Amino acid sequence: MLVERWFTMTVFKLAVMAIGFALPISQSADDFNFMRERSYSTFVDRR
């Protein structure tokens, strides 16, 4: 019983993490690329 509950909770947490990690990437991939390019350019300018 305890092992089944722990296994279910672990799978549930992994699923929630995967969904929370995949949704922002699919929704704001352009924003992420823009932020990455901007931060990279500011880093190069700072050097």
Q: Does residue 31 contact residue 38 with C-beta atoms inside 8 Å?
A: no
Q: What percent of the chain has pLDDT over 70?
A: 47
Determine the Cα–Cα distance for residues 41 and 35; give it in Å rounded to an integer: 10
Query: What are 16-34's pLDDT values in tens digits?
Result: 888 777 766 655 666 666 6
Q: Which residue's entry shows tokens 């992420």?
A: 32
Q: What percent of the chain has pLDDT over 90?
A: 21
Position 33 scores a pLDDT of 67
Report the mean per-residue pLDDT for the chain: 74
Position 37 scores a pLDDT of 72
Position 19 scores a pLDDT of 78
Helix crossing, 2-27 with 29-46: angle to 10°? 70
